[in-house]
Amino acid sequence: MTRVRHRFGRQRRPTAEPGHSASGAARDPGLIGGQRELGLVEASLRVPERRIRYSISAMVPTFGLIAAVMMCGREGPASAAARAVVIVVVVSTLPVGVIIARSHLAPIWWTRRSAPRALSTLFVLYGDAGVSIVLFTLTSPEAALSGTPLLAILSAYAAYFCSPATRNLHIAITTTVITVLTVMTYRTGEYDVASTVGRFLVAIVVVNGTVLLESMFATGVRRAIRDTLVHAHQDPLTQLWNRRGFTHWARATVEASRGPVGMLFVDIDEYKAINDTHGHRVGDDVLQLAARRLADAVGSRGVLARTGGDEFAVVAELDLEELTALAHTIRTGIHRPDDAVPLTASIGVAAGVLDAAAMSRSGAAERVISAMLHAADTALYRAKKAGRNRVAYVDLNEVDQTPRIVESDCPPTHRRPGTGRGRQPFPPPS
């Protein structure tokens, strides 16, 4: 077996995140840490976000109920003005609870860059203010100090849904409130220094220890989930999405589309011969180089994945003309005559315009994906059978879905493939 010192071996391995080139040319809204990753988290983990959200919203009027009970006790507010303030706080918990119930918490927890995070900041500050106001209206400082552990509930919320700056502000507020109430308790003369300090330490540890420990735990969980997702959905060699990731985004793309959608399969020509002639290390370098060139060609127009071996796939909301044009760009861009091992690719394209009525039926997304996978694979086989280094396409809106070859010297944008007779809705009725 002949081995060559392949210049690909001196190139840096791509370090881009799944679906993106090392240069960032293929970056889109679906970055790790972005909306696309959030969708993957929710779909993969099936977090009961609604149940958590409703539980938090129910806790808000519960705080109001506790305040109302304390107001009616012997140590409750002494003046009418103080009671009126507590009543306002109690009533306000109802609309605030409704607002929290309607707030989507998953993006706030996961990305920490979501616009709704401002709502979480306001909620924590509202809670700090409300609890503090009620405690300071009590006639017994010691009773008020014993109520400060209620702030630990807000500490837990801040740990998961607020920024570090908000958490630090919460810690400053709670520390101030606990310190003032501790001083007021000591000045009553009913407790010695040790007893008062003991109460202070209990309150501080419960309230601020909660936010610190829960913050560490939440950060560790997010990091572990992100690493797991990367390993489960990313191809380690090319840093693209793998077959599992591609399947997820194919479904997400189809479900989000209200018009054209398509898929293309790319197969590196004679890759087995490259491996047999130059060895697997050169073969891996070839795959990495192909992945970078594919990512540069696809850009933000679709989701790119390595689905296995020397096979790549793209799913995009593009019509047949646009997708065949993209395939032509990929085919011509992947070949560089000065490469030590020149590459060519055969490409199969399948695209159609989704029928809104058909998509409303149960199982429509699965039928669309199945049809695209089959048609793109059939088109790829046709391109390879025609001599390789070809693009073949299937128009999923045509009754006759025989794959057709796009001539290499004829830009597909001029041929307008797929226009003509025998049209049908896609997906067709089951």
pTM beyond 0.85, yes or no: no
Strands (E), 153-202: none
Burial class from Cβ neighbours inside 10 Å (0-12, 13-18, 19+) for residue 267 reads buried
Q: Report strand pairing: 311-316 vs 260-268.
A: antiparallel
Q: What are phi and psi of 291, to 5 degrees?
A: -65, -40
DSSP, collapsed to helix, strand or coil, labels residue 175 as helix
- Residue-level pLDDT at 43: 59
Q: Any residues with CB less than 8 A from the CB of 171 and at least 6 apart, and which?
A: 208, 211
Query: Helices (DSSP H) in 234-363: which residue ranges?
Result: 243-256, 271-278, 280-298, 320-334, 356-359
| pLDDT per residue rounded down to tens, the chain (430 residues) | 333 333 333 333 333 334 333 333 333 333 334 455 555 655 565 667 788 889 999 999 999 999 999 999 899 898 999 999 999 999 999 999 999 888 877 666 665 555 556 888 899 999 999 999 999 999 999 999 999 999 999 999 998 888 889 999 999 999 999 999 999 999 998 999 999 999 999 999 999 999 999 989 988 887 887 777 777 888 989 989 999 889 888 988 888 888 899 999 999 999 999 988 889 899 999 999 999 999 999 998 999 999 999 999 999 999 999 999 999 999 999 999 888 888 999 999 999 988 877 777 778 888 899 999 999 999 999 999 999 999 999 998 887 788 888 865 444 443 444 445 577 778 766 6
SS (H, E, C) 240-277: CECHHHHHHHHHHHHHHCCCEEEEEEEEECCHHHHHHH
120: amino acid identity, one letter: S
40: amino acid identity, one letter: L
- Residue-level pLDDT at 47: 63
- Residue-level pLDDT at 228: 79
- Residue-level pLDDT at 401: 80
- Residue-level pLDDT at 177: 96
- Residue-level pLDDT at 24: 33
- Residue-level pLDDT at 192: 93
- Residue-level pLDDT at 357: 77
- Residue-level pLDDT at 110: 63
Domains and CATH numbers, the chain: 47-231 (no CATH), 236-415 (3.30.70.270)
Q: Locate 374 and state its tokens.
A: 């089959």
- As a whole number of angstroms, the distance between CA 34 and CA 113 comes to 9
- Residue-level pLDDT at 108: 66
- Residue-level pLDDT at 418: 45
- Residue-level pLDDT at 375: 93
